[in-house]
Amino acid sequence: MDILELRKNEITFDTGIRSRSKILRITSKRITLQEVQEKLKRQITEKG
């Protein structure tokens, strides 16, 4: 995942692989929840 700078094996879809609403499970110890939220918010505002 380029946005989060994680490897594919560190992220899995918990639910919603085909729906618009998704729940991701991040197993990496290299990133915190706060960092994930900041990076996703930044990406949304850049695209918006």
Q: Is residue 19 assigned to a domain?
A: yes
* Radius of gyration in angstroms for the set of CA atoms belonging to the chain, rounded to a whole number: 11
Q: Is residue 15 assigned to a domain?
A: yes
Q: Is residue 24 assigned to a domain?
A: yes
* pLDDT at res. 17: 86
The single-letter code of the amino acid at 11 is I
Percent of the chain exceeding pLDDT 70 equals 98
Entry pTM: 0.72
User: In 3-state terms, what secondary structure has residue 47?
Assistant: helix
The single-letter code of the amino acid at 21 is S
Q: Is residue 35 assigned to a domain?
A: yes
User: In 3-state terms, what secondary structure has residue 8?
Assistant: helix
Give every residue of the chain whose pLDDT is below 70, as ranges.
1
Joined together, the tokens standing for residue 41 give 């918010």
User: By residue range, what is the domain housing residue 30?
Assistant: 8-47
Q: Is residue 37 assigned to a domain?
A: yes
Number of domains in the chain: 1
Q: Is residue 3 assigned to a domain?
A: no
